[in-house]
């Protein structure tokens, strides 16, 4: 899940990321205190079980024998998942550990606009999926596309546009993988693992081991590993959240008391901020000034979510388009899960959890309210929740690299087996890179980059999503729009200051001409789309030919009727 | 591997595609709009209804001003929060309805039946011919 999970928005239009309030993981120990043996024992046993599941995955649902020697088989698990597996896979793919830690953390720290918008956007994302993804599946299935960049290459006959989409996808996914490690670290930190050690390597050893096991599973089993582990992950997480949402609010006096406590805390925090000459930052119910911010954050994130390569990988691994469409009616259950988790951020306020690092709010709440063994189960759920998406993201990024950069530009004659091999190695490198990034640099860098990633990935929407129907936009206009959107979005994000971050202070900026703040990705997207459309008209008037459309060529005369070209697309442009 | 999968899938796909053909044929022959039953199976109508249902859901969530209020509370939950969740449930039900409607009218594979060319040519004719009219 995405885009600006971490990015927070503020009342009064001053964007401040939650991140900015956070302290690098590893430095906040006040509330956690000491090593929790019982929790860690349960955690270690369950995680070992999950690792065994991952190793077993290589043999799961295998039709043939031998190594997974094609990208379809390794990277898309043979494109054979039915509704049940797909539900777990897609849900487990986009609702990540980082989400489970950051969204309640944002609720805990600043309330509705930065936290609850995630519920609004994951409500709106399903109509978007309903419209876009069956069509994407069909085109990809028919032509053997593995990544969105493949689709763009085939649809527009443009290698440079495909390269732009692939590079954007990889750039947006990498920090996202890194952030999964941040989620993992938060849990380990609360358990007190390695915090007593001054040696950085010893402290990070659990994360390194977990990621090493994951790398091996993914290398041997491909997408099957996260798909199988997703069962374990989501069973655990549903169990934990169900117990938490029933038991804990009851203990602190019911939901009425929970919301009152949150409102009280935010009122006090805003009053203190105003007294100190800062903008009030907490929002219990969005005011008129926040409507545009809340709406654009929700809409932009919903449109961007399924442009992420890992989300598309989950979709393409399904058996038929009907599996995807039917799933949109059941996948909202994950949104409900996220909503409950978000509310647990308020519950943490009512339960008296105190931390300066909002990411620790939920782990600390579990630590405080659950018996040690069940807290161990809860922490395993979050940790496995980090591994599943990280695996799928690394596969998706590796596929993008292999298909577009390696085969598309370096070795066009590569065989299917060679593609699979390159992709396997690339997935290892991607994970190693994320590990080094998180352990070696300040966590803030990952959060900044992930915020930017949301803005960037949105710029591939015109090429990928609008490319699904006719009439096609012109490839050169699309490339120009993409470039402008990327530059504008990056520049705007860079310009955002907050009290604690000098640059990349948030994902909101004043929208030119409206005078209110809105999500940068949406403003950049509007610019991008305008350039693409106007450019297409101009290029067409000028008689510049568009690239060849490989998808139109197959059965002669079956060109799709244009009157229906834009019909089934109500969701993205309400 | 791929071979296996296809063998397993063929009957599954042939089903809807085959139904498409008879339904579409029926609609065209009978004029299609004479009874409520025919209306329900009308492909363009199903698509318009789907667009409306999905559009309503997105619009309802986007119009933040219509629900950014504290009260009335439901089980202690402020209006803003429970109203968002209500649209999640409505949306899920709506999408289930859309799946059903599109399946009934045989537009579950709108024009993309071509995409199933890999599984056999029988899918191409009806699903692609229908909408072109």
Any bridge partners for residue A81, and if so which?
A318
CA distances to A4, A6, A297, A459, A490 from A520, rounded to whole Å, are: 11, 14, 9, 11, 9
Closest of A535, A552, A553, A533 to residue A544, by C-alpha: A535
A73 touching B (Cβ < 8 Å): yes
* Structure letter (DSSP) for residue A194: T
Question: Hey, how many other C-beta atoms are within 10 angstroms of the C-beta on A26?
Answer: 16
**What length is written for chain A?**
574
What is the distance in angstroms between the Cα of A485 and the nearest Cα belonging to chain B?
23
CB contact under 8 A, B65 and A291: yes
Chain B residue numbers with beta carbons less than 8 Å from the beta carbon of A570 are 51-52, 54-55, 58
CB atoms within 10 A of CB B61: 27
Helix (H, G, I), strand (E, B) or coil at A518: strand
The upper half-sphere exposure of residue A574, i.e. CA atoms within 13 Å in the direction of its Cβ, equals 26
Looking at beta carbons, which residues of chain B come within 8 Å of A254? 75-76
Minimal Cα distance from B46: which residue of A?
A568
User: What's A228-270 look like in SS3?
Assistant: HHHHHHHHHHHHHHHHHHHHHHHHCCHHHHHHHHHHHHHHHHH
Residues on chain A touching B120 (C-beta within 8 angstroms): none
Note whether B61 and A127 are within 8 A (CB). no
Q: What is the DSSP letter of A15?
A: -
Radius of gyration of chain A (CA): 23
pLDDT higher than threshold 70 for residue B5: no
Q: What is the pLDDT of residues A505-528, one digit of tens each?
A: 677 777 777 777 788 888 899 999
Cross-chain residue pair B111–A560, CB shorter than 8 Å: yes
ipTM: 0.75
∠ CA A441-A445-A447, nearest 5°, is 130
Taking the CA of residue A509 and the nearest CA in chain B, the distance in Å comes to 19
What's the whole-number average pLDDT of chain A? 78
Percentage of residues in chain A having pLDDT higher than 70:
86
In this complex, the residue of B1, B76, B95 whose CB is nearest that of residue A63 is B1
Chain B nearest C-alpha distance from A483 (Å): 28
Interface probe for B, chosen from A63, A266, A324 (most Cβ of B below 10 Å), is A63
User: With bands split at pLDDT 50, 70 and 90, how would you rate the model's confidence at A530?
Assistant: very high
Contacts of A332 in chain B (CB under 8 A): 88-89, 91-92
pLDDT for the residue numbered A472:
83
Using an 8 Å Cβ cutoff, are A507 and A297 in contact?
Answer: yes
Q: Chain A to chain B, count of Cβ pairs less than 8 Å apart?
A: 170
- Model pLDDT, residue A218: 82
Which residue in the set A62, A285, A343 is minimally distant from B80, CB to CB? Answer: A285
- What residues of A are in contact with residue B58 (Cβ under 8 Å)? 124, 127, 299, 570-571, 574
Nearest by Cα to A564 from B44, B50, B31, B17: B44
Q: Chain B within 8 Å of A142 (Cβ-Cβ)?
A: yes
Q: Which of A60-69, A130-139, A471-480 has the lowest mean pLDDT?
A: A60-69
pLDDT of residue A451: 78
Lowest mean pLDDT, pick from A239-253, A347-361, B31-45, B103-117: B103-117
Chain B residues close to A119, C-beta within 8 Å: 84-85, 88
How far, in Å, are A121, A218, A405, A520, B51 from residue A148 at the CA level? Answer: 22, 21, 13, 23, 25
Joined tokens for residue A111:
């309330």
Q: Worst-scoring range by mean pLDDT, A149-158, A248-257, A289-298, B109-118?
A: B109-118
What are the pLDDT digits (tens) for A217-275? 888 888 888 888 888 888 888 888 888 888 888 888 888 888 888 888 888 888 888 88
Is A130 close to B92, i.e. CB distance below 8 A?
no
Evaluate if residue A428 carries a pLDDT over 60. Answer: yes
Question: Helix, strand or coil for residue A463?
Answer: helix
What's the token pair of residue A509? 């900026």
Cα–Cα dist A472/A467, whole Å: 6
Q: Do A123 and B91 touch (CB under 8 A)?
A: yes
Please answer yes or no on whether B108 and A571 come within 8 Å at the CB atom.
Answer: no
CB contacts under 8 A, A 385-414 vs B, are: none
Concatenating the DSSP letter of every residue in A107-144 gives: HHHHBIIIIIHHHHHHHHHHHHHHHHHHHHHHHHHHHT
Q: How far apart are CA A315 and CA A319, in angstroms?
A: 9
Segment A84-97, tens digit of pLDDT: 788 888 888 888 88
* Closest Cβ opposite residue B47 in set A127, A284, A568: A568
- The CA radius of gyration of chain B, in Å to the nearest whole number, is 20
Query: Do A149 and A71 touch, CB atoms closer than 8 A?
Result: no
Pick from B13, B57, B95 the residue to mutate for testing the A interface (most A CBs within 10 Å). Answer: B95
Phi and psi, residue A81, nearest 5°: -75, 135
Q: How far is A561 from chain B (nearest CA, A)?
A: 6
C-alpha closest to that of B132 among B18, B23, B41, B43: B43
List pLDDT tens digits, range A398-427: 888 888 888 877 887 878 888 888 888 888
Range B78-95 average pLDDT: 88
Identity of the residue in B12, B16, B91 whose CB atom sits nearest the CB atom of A127: B91
| Confidence (pLDDT) at A391 | 86
Task: Tell me whether A285 touches chain B (CB under 8 Å).
Answer: yes
Collect all residues of chain B within an 8 Å Cβ-Cβ radius of residue A289. Answer: none
Measured CA to CA, the distance from residue B32 to residue B41 in angstroms comes to: 9
Q: How far apart are CA A181 and CA A570, in angstroms?
A: 37
C-alpha A275: how far from chain center = 37
Beta pairing partners, A517: A510
**Residue carrying the six token digits 């409607």:** B101
- Measure Cα distances from A385 to A381, A382, A522 in Å: 6, 5, 29
Q: What is the rounded distance in angstroms from the CA atom of residue A342 to the CA atom of residue A346?
A: 7
Q: What is the pLDDT of residues A159-174, one digit of tens each?
A: 888 889 999 998 888 8
Q: Quick check: bond before B72 cis, omega within 30?
A: yes
Interacting residues of A446 by C-beta distance below 8 A, sequence separation 6+: A175, A178, A179, A182, A437, A438
Residue A564 to residue B91, Cβ atoms within 8 A? no
Nearest chain B residue to A321 by CA: give it. Answer: B109
Q: Which residues contact A42 (CB under 8 A, 6 or more apart)?
A: A372, A373, A376, A377, A380
What tokens does A281 get?
């930052």
Q: Where are the alpha helices (DSSP H) in A291-331?
A: 291-305, 309-316, 321-327
CA dihedral (A85, A90, A95, A96) positive or negative: positive
Minimal-distance CA residue of chain B relative to A249: B76
Q: Which H or E run includes A509?
A: strand A508-510
**The two three-digit tokens of residue A19, written as one number:** 């991140």
Q: Is residue A283 helix, strand or coil?
A: strand
Of A257, A291, A332, nearest to B88 by CB-CB distance is A332
Q: Which two tokens stand for residue A514?
A: 């409206």
């Amino acid at each position: 899940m995405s885009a600006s999970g971490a990015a927070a928005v503020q009342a009064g239009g001053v964007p401040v990321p939650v991140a900015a309030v956070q302290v690098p993981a590893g430095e906040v120990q006040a509330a956690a205190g000491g090593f929790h043996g019982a929790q860690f024992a349960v955690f270690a046993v369950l995680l070992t079980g999950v690792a065994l599941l991952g190793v077993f995955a290589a043999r799961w649902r295998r039709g043939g024998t031998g190594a997974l020697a094609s990208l379809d088989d390794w990277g898309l698990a043979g494109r054979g998942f039915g509704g049940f597996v797909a539900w777990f896979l897609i849900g487990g793919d986009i609702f990540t550990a980082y989400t489970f830690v950051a969204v309640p953390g944002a609720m805990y720290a600043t309330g509705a606009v930065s936290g609850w918008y995630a519920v609004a956007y994951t409500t709106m994302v399903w109509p978007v999926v309903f419209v876009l993804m069956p069509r994407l599946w069909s085109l990809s299935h028919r032509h053997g596309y593995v990544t969105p960049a493949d689709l763009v290459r085939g649809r527009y006959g443009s290698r440079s546009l495909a390269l732009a989409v692939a590079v954007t996808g990889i750039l947006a996914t990498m920090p996202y993988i890194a952030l999964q490690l941040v989620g993992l670290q938060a849990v380990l930190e609360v358990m007190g693992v390695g915090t007593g050690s001054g040696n950085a390597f010893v402290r990070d050893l659990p994360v390194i081991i977990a990621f090493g096991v994951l790398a091996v599973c993914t290398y041997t089993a491909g997408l099957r590993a996260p798909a199988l582990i997703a069962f374990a992950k989501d069973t655990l997480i549903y169990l934990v959240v169900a117990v938490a949402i029933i038991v804990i609010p009851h203990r602190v006096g019911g939901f009425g008391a929970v919301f009152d406590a949150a409102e009280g805390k935010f009122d006090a925090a805003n009053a203190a901020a105003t007294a100190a000459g800062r903008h009030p930052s907490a929002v219990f119910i969005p005011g008129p000034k926040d409507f545009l911010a809340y709406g654009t954050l929700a809409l932009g994130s919903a449109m961007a979510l399924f442009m992420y390569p890992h989300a598309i990988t989950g979709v393409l691994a399904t058996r038929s388009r009907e599996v995807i469409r039917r799933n949109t009616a059941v996948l909202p259950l994950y949104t409900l899960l996220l909503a409950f988790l978000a509310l647990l951020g308020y519950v943490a306020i009512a339960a008296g959890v105190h931390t300066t690092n909002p990411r620790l709010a939920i782990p600390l709440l579990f630590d405080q309210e659950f018996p040690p063994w069940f807290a161990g189960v809860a922490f395993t759920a979050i940790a496995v929740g980090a591994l599943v998406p990280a695996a799928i993201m690394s596969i998706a990024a590796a596929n993008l690299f292999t298909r577009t950069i390696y085969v598309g530009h370096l070795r066009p004659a590569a065989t299917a087996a060679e593609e699979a091999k390159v992709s396997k190695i690339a997935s290892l490198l991607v994970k190693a890179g994320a590990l080094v990034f998180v352990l070696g640099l300040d966590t803030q860098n990952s959060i900044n980059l992930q915020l930017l990633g949301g803005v960037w990935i949105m710029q591939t929407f015109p090429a990928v999503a609008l490319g699904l129907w006719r009439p096609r936009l012109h490839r050169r206009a699309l490339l120009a729009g993409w470039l402008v959107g990327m530059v504008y979005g990056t520049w705007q994000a860079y310009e955002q200051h907050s009290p604690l971050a000098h640059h990349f202070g948030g994902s909101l900026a004043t929208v030119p001409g409206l005078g209110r703040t809105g999500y940068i990705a949406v403003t950049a997207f509007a610019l991008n789309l305008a350039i693409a459309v106007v450019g297409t008209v101009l290029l067409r008037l000028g008689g510049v030919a568009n690239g060849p459309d490989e998808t139109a060529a197959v059965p002669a005369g079956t060109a799709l009727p244009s009157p229906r070209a834009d019909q089934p697309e109500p969701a993205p442009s309400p | 591997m791929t071979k296996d999968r296809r063998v397993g899938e063929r009957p599954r796909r042939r089903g809807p595609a085959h139904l498409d053909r008879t339904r579409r044929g029926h609609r065209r022959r009978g004029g299609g709009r004479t009874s409520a039953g025919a209306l329900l199976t009308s492909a363009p109508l199903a698509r318009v209804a789907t667009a409306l249902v999905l559009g309503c859901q997105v619009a309802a969530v986007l119009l933040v001003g219509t629900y950014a209020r504290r009260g009335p509370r439901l089980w202690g939950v402020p209006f803003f929060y429970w109203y968002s969740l209500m649209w999640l449930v409505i949306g899920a039900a709506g999408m289930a309805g859309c799946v059903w409607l599109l399946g009934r009218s045989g537009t579950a594979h709108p024009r993309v039946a071509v995409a199933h060319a890999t599984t056999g040519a029988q899918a191409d004719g009806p699903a692609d011919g229908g909408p072109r009219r």
